[in-house]
Structure 1
Amino acid sequence: MHFKSWQVLFLLFGLITITLGFVTFFFLPNNPMSSRLRVEEKLRIIERVRGNQTGTESKQFKWHQFKEVILDIKTWLLSLIVITTNVPNGAVSSFSSIITQNMHIVHGALEGDANVTIALPLLYSWVTANFAGHTKKVTMNAIVLMSFCIGNIIGPKTFQARDAPHYIPAKVTIVAFMSVGILLTLALDMLYHMENKKRDRAGEIDMPHNYEFMGLSDEENRNFRYC
């Protein structure tokens, strides 16, 4: 069987991904307590949770946390940010050669300078830091993943054959979606800032001993502060 060069690349990186997936499944622990670390190292890692107050892993699905994340405006602002920043990603990934045509610039250099993809890890970091409670966090991770897929589905659809050869509507759409994403990011950051100010005015709330490890959500734990 003869493979084309691009097929070989897909097979190579696909095989590496599958191999790493198996390695991760069998060797990466689900939580610090199931790791091969020494007891004092495990305790040191767990103690870090006390500082960020994001909670520890729990197998219990808490419906009130699920409802909380669904009804939280910050959830859907973040979802829209992921969608709007990944519409350009889906478009550029599929049609970068068309976008950079006649620009007289090395394609890799342009993509490295104007990468839209890099926003996703930063958004995942925002989820990790600002969504406490295991059920709430995993639900938000699922919403972010679906939002990522939606954005990357919409992106390529902006390039229509009737708009050839310059595809101006698609390029305008990319800029518009990215601009909206920036505005939504500023709005979400402002909401986090306002909520922190509100909690600061209320002062430290008395909580049960070791409440940091009780899997409370960021709404339940009023001592939680957003990043």
Structure 2
Amino acid sequence: MGKSSAELSISSTNSTPINDSNSDSYDVALNFLKTHAKNINVEEQQNYELDVNNQRKKPKALLRKLDIYILPFMCAVYFLQYLDKSLLNYAAVMGIKKHLVGNQFANLGTIFYASYIFGEPFISYLLQRFPLSKVLSTCIVLWGIVLAAHSACHTYASLMIVRVLLGILESASAVSLISIGTMYYTKSEQAERIGYWAIQSGMGLIAGGLLSFAFQYVHTTGFESWQILFLVLGCITVVFGIFVWLYLPDNVTNAWFLTDEEKTIVIENVRSNQTGVENKIFKKHQIKELLFHDKFTWLLVFTTIVSQMITGALGTFSVSVTATFGFNNKISSLLQLPTGTIVIICILASTHLVSRYGNLTLVHASMYVPSIIGAVLLIIDSKVKISNLIGLYLTCSGSSAITMIYTWNSVNTAGYTKKVYRNAMTLISFSIASLIGPQLFQAYSYPRYMPAKITILVTQICAIPLSLLIGYLSKKENEKRDRLAQEEGQKDQVENIEFLDLTDIENKNFRYLY
């Protein structure tokens, strides 16, 4: 899949030169290489190790530098995004439900994801057309303001309004992080870094449980504990959004902490991804290809919806379900801490395995097995509290599998417009699943919620063959391209083809990671 070190130089004597007349449609990395970069010493590059995907490893000092300056932003964005949206879950045992009746609490969980779906295409367009960090930071500041505004809401109608606005603004988070990862890291590095920022969902669960427990002891005149929690977290989010505006670069070429030489090394290092860095030209033909000519598109959409209904279900109702096991409200909040720990373990283990050994498909499929076992234990509904808790905790593995879908999108999609909108479609699919999830827990089925538990079991079982099918199709496509390359023999390669913003279908040198 990767190129040799000699092929990683900026130009090649056996390459067909590109036509500069249409240079505006090329990747920003190519324009940087033309105006700033000198060829990297190929002799020195030959000493570099290759990773499991046959891609050249970065110098350790440079990789460490990227992890110091870029990765903390990614982790913090996802942490706050997950914590902020899930505060409603914790508010359930902090008094917010007394303002609601019937299925209104479930509807608040659903409307967030409905608005997320609505906002995703528009936010994705803004992220491509304008500087990524500026769009992301603006969204963060605004969702912090909206989060703080929750504290002023006392009616179902007002809560619905702020949940709608929060969903639209938070739709910028994950799609931005996947795009950022492809700018700085190779495929193997991306898998591991996606794991690092994705585990912040687990950290969010832990922090949310602790904050919910702590704030239940906070009482002031005129403010309930849940209102104070929303207000404090909203202010923290606003401050962080301003920090992102000031310090997160838009892409590699304007990364303030890198020298021109280091920028060149990073660009050359991600060259073998065949996915480019960034392009601000919106290309309709890439959208058309994504929707109508890519065999993976709708299969990934369906897989995401089926596999992640569990996330929407338990993301809104895990505290409420824990309370049905016989625990009081404060203990139910604290019992979410192991949930966060398990999510962290599942994500770190799976992404580390993919980064070190590959086998994305097998790792992905295996993540649903513990979740199936957990769903069975919940359906059995033992009177033993620990048995129910173990069942609930095991379902975290299937919920964590969204990380593998993020990874597939990141490493297997080329063409900047296509990549942005594939990520958007995945987030929309995830939101559809999360929209459906809370509706599984209808008031009439309390306290056992048996229809929800059965649905979780069935969907987790179906996710396994779907993930295996994606891997099988990826393998067959690679074999087809290998045969085609052998039949055509050696031909002149277009110079810098990796940065011409071609899609994975257009660029026959592209190979899928499976």
What residue is the counterpart of 1:47 in the other structure?
268
2:448 is aligned with 1:219: no
Question: 1:203 is paired with a residue of what secondary structure?
Answer: helix
Question: 2:308 is paired with a residue of what secondary structure?
Answer: helix
What residue is the counterpart of 2:346 in the other structure?
none
Rounded to whole Å, the distance in 2 between the matches of 1:168 and 1:54 is 45
1:218 and 1:224 in contact (8 A); partners too: yes
What residue is the counterpart of 2:62 in the other structure?
none
Following superposition, which runs of at least 4 residues in structure 1 exceed 4 angstroms of deviation?
103-107
Q: Which amino acid aligns with 2:476?
A: M
Rounded to whole Å, the distance in 2 between the matches of 1:103 and 1:189 is 42
What does 1:60-209 align with in structure 2 at a 5 Å threshold? 60-71=281-292, 72-100=294-322, 101-102=324-325, 106-109=335-338, 112=342, 113-114=393-394, 115=396, 116-203=398-485, 206=491, 207-209=493-495
1:90 and 1:152 in contact (8 A); partners too: yes
Rounded to whole Å, the distance in 2 between the matches of 1:26 and 1:58 is 22
What residue is the counterpart of 2:259 in the other structure?
38
Rounded to whole Å, the distance in 1 between the matches of 2:298 and 2:326 is 37
Q: May I ask how many residue pairs the two structures share in their alignment?
A: 227
Q: After superposing the two structures, state which structure 1 stretch, 213-222 or 16-25, moved more.
A: 16-25
Q: Which amino acid aligns with 2:504?
A: D
Q: After superposing the two structures, state which structure 1 stretch, 114-123 or 37-46, moved more.
A: 114-123
1:85 and 1:181 in contact (8 A); partners too: yes
Structure 1 residue 26: deviation in Å? 2.8
Answer with 1 or 2: which has the greater Rg.
2
What residue is the counterpart of 1:22 in the other structure?
242
What residue is the counterpart of 2:231 in the other structure?
11
1:136 and 1:217 in contact (8 A); partners too: yes
TM-score by length of 1: 0.89
Structure 1 residue 182: deviation in Å? 2.6
Question: 2:261 is paired with a residue of what secondary structure?
Answer: helix
Structure 1 residue 110: deviation in Å? 5.1
1:80 and 1:181 in contact (8 A); partners too: no
Superimposed CA distance per residue, residues 151-175 of structure 1 (whole angstroms, 9 cap, x where no aligned partner)? 1110011112222221111100111
Structure 2 residue runs without a partner (length 5+):
1-220, 343-392
1:69 and 1:140 in contact (8 A); partners too: yes
Q: Could you say what the CA RMSD is over the residues aligned between the two structures, in angstroms?
A: 2.2
Q: After superposing the two structures, state which structure 1 stretch, 10-19 or 57-66, moved more.
A: 10-19
Structure 1 residue 181: deviation in Å? 2.3
Rounded to whole Å, the distance in 2 between the matches of 1:127 and 1:178 is 21
TM-score by length of 2: 0.42
Rounded to whole Å, the distance in 2 between the matches of 1:83 and 1:180 is 11
Structure 1 residue 107: deviation in Å? 4.5
Structure with bigger RCO (C-alpha 8 Å, 6+ apart) = 1
* Cα gap change, 1:208 to 1:26, in 2 (>3 Å): same
Superimposed CA distance per residue, residues 22-70 of structure 1 (whole angstroms, 9 cap, x where no aligned partner)? 2223321111111111000110111122111112211111111111111
Q: After superposing the two structures, state which structure 1 stretch, 13-22 or 106-115, moved more.
A: 106-115
* Cα gap change, 1:182 to 1:50, in 2 (>3 Å): same
Question: 2:494 is paired with a residue of what secondary structure?
Answer: coil
Rounded to whole Å, the distance in 1 between the matches of 2:423 and 2:336 is 32
1:55 and 1:133 in contact (8 A); partners too: yes
1:49 and 1:213 in contact (8 A); partners too: no
Rounded to whole Å, the distance in 1 between the matches of 2:461 and 2:476 is 23
Structure 1 residue runs without a partner (length 5+):
none
Question: 2:512 is paired with a residue of what secondary structure?
Answer: coil
Q: Which amino acid aligns with 1:11?
A: L
Rounded to whole Å, the distance in 2 between the matches of 1:137 and 1:53 is 12
Question: 2:227 is paired with a residue of what secondary structure?
Answer: helix
Rounded to whole Å, the distance in 2 between the matches of 1:187 and 1:19 is 44
* Cα gap change, 1:178 to 1:203, in 2 (>3 Å): same
Q: After superposing the two structures, state which structure 1 stretch, 9-18 or 52-61, moved more.
A: 9-18
Rounded to whole Å, the distance in 1 between the matches of 2:238 and 2:484 is 50
Rounded to whole Å, the distance in 2 between the matches of 1:20 and 1:85 is 32
2:509 is aligned with 1:210: no
Structure 1 residue 185: deviation in Å? 1.3
